[in-house]
Structure 1
């Protein structure tokens, strides 16, 4: 008998089939219930996952998902998973709890996600006890790829991108306004579309203009969110997510300047979640 663990963000979902003696990893697209329906989640799971794992017996599913922040959204995902995996025990959690467990196991601390979107929480070693909302792509998500992609596109159309960067940006990224508007107004996952432009900043992170943008975004995340948690300076701050992992030196610099403990960066949260749930496999 095996368990199935899922870590689902805005861009991708990583799945692990864990038995007593081995683990196998699979990937599908992100399954955020704010962007998906029961039918579309079920379709992805059956076509891109179930068909690959075959007839392995699954006893429990532990699903950590972006967007699983209310019973309504959890029920949507639970229904889809239940249709794809009948008679399996399904455990639904917000991805923040997954981040906290991956970062700290059963120790307290401040867990942060910096990927396509951003989020954070204060964790007591068992549950999330404080959560300052990220306010999502339109209103917040400071320090995320979506946030930086939005900044870059805005500055491009305000003629604020330096000439040496502007030429490279136009050469390697589609900056046509009609194309961008189509992605914004017609795309089901606007944040993921805009976040793809943030890769340009990562490719030029040593450029002073780029460094200023990155620094401002990470400083906003830390000073306007992380520092607001109760007794924040008493806790370790740890991160998961591709953006955090790529820019950890800059983030550590900002944390230190604000009197906080430099973070630990978890590049593979699934590995940590496998360890956390290994006790469930008999």
Structure 2
């Protein structure tokens, strides 16, 4: 049986085609229904995905950022049903993808730290508790977007040390006009702000940067993870590039709160394939 699994975030969508034990990976742009219409999703699939497919798809599992309400899910579902008209379509929020990739069918606290952040308590089948991330404007603690926002704020408050300030100005456009335009006029606001968060990864051992990182991850753990029911009884696992890059610091903070650190998975696709392959076999 040929089936597709999609992991769609703010930046890109990774598609894994499975057929008789064979795997093929295809990338398209992110298909977030907050930024895409049904028509634009169809266009991306037809232009970027279809040329790579040479067989009929029987089932699609789509895990998407932004698929957090019936209305947003409908945008994606209508697009997928129109292009895969003979396939069984399943759509999930990316948080379910994180939970399944982190734990497969075991319970625990699953966390996303990438462009944005999110988390849930998973019982091995369903998400049983979810503390809202509040998105990059109000929350998203510990994410690239959160750190990008903090860095920009500190730059315009003259709080960035001179050595870092020079490097920041040499490698990033720090024009207030440019930043304001990207924040208010751009279609991918969180991704734009998150791009500035990458600067922290260039200087992770600088005391100023380390303090920023510690504060962001501590906020995520103490104000979110620790508030799940019986949090210290559960293993905490992470998905995402930010979590993977700073796992040693995150483990240090988890230990401070007597929380058990588990897997740090940079890319969830292999484990999602494992999860769904078990359904087929």
CA contact (8 A) 2:57 2:86 kept: no
**Unaligned stretches of 5+ residues in structure 1:** none
With normalisation by structure 2, the TM-score equals 0.98
Alignment partners' CA distance in 1, 2:169 and 2:228: 41
Report 1:153-172 matches (<5 A): 153-172=152-171
Task: Please give the per-residue CA displacement for 1:118-159, whole angstroms capped at 9, x wherever unaligned.
Answer: 000000000000000000111100000000000001111111
Aligned to 1:119: 118
Cα distance between partner residues in 2 of 1:144 and 1:29: 20
Provide the C-alpha distance between the structure 1 equivalents of 2:262 and 2:205, rounded to a whole number of angstroms: 21
SS of equivalent to 2:61: strand
Q: Is contact 1:233-1:261 (8 Å) kept?
A: yes
For residues 129-148 of structure 1, what are the structure 2 equivalents within 5 Å? 129-148=128-147
Q: Could you tell me how far apart the structure 1 residues matched to 2:35 and 2:239 are?
A: 22
Q: How big is each residue's C-alpha offset from its partner over 1:203-255, in whole Å with a ceiling of 9 and x where there is no partner?
A: 10000000000000000000000000000000000000000000000000000
User: Quick check: 1:64–1:98 contact (8 Å CA) kept in 2?
Assistant: yes
Cα distance in structure 2, aligned partners of 1:240 and 1:12: 15
Residues 57, 281 of structure 1: alpha-carbon distance in 2 compared, 3 angstrom cutoff: farther
Tell me by how many angstroms 1:90 deviates: 0.4
Partners in 2 of 1:263 and 1:237 — Cα distance?
6
* Aligned equivalent of 1:234: 233
Q: CA deviation at 1:13?
A: 1.0
- Per-residue CA distance 1:173-193 (angstroms, 9 max, x = gap): 111111111101110010000
CA contact (8 A) 1:66 1:94 kept: yes
Number of the residue aligned with 2:25: 25
SS in structure 1 at match of 2:249: helix
Q: Any residues of structure 2 matched to 1:172-211 within 5 Å, and which?
A: 172-211=171-210
Quote how far apart the aligned CAs of 1:281 are.
Answer: 4.2
Structure 1 outlier segments of 4+, above 6 Å: none
8 Å Cα contact 1:19-1:281 kept in structure 2? no
Q: Cα RMSD over matched residues?
A: 1.0
- How many Å separate the matches in 1 of 2:142 and 2:243? 8
Partner of 1:34: 34
Counting matched residue pairs gives 281
CA distance in 1, matches of 2:22, 2:86: 23
Distance in 1 (CA, whole Å) between partners of 2:39 and 2:125 is: 33
* Aligned residue in 2 for 1:13: 13
Pairwise CA distance, 1:263: 3.1
State the secondary structure of the residue aligned to 1:58: coil
How many Å separate the matches in 1 of 2:249 and 2:138?
A: 24
**5+ unaligned residues in a row in structure 2: which ranges?**
none
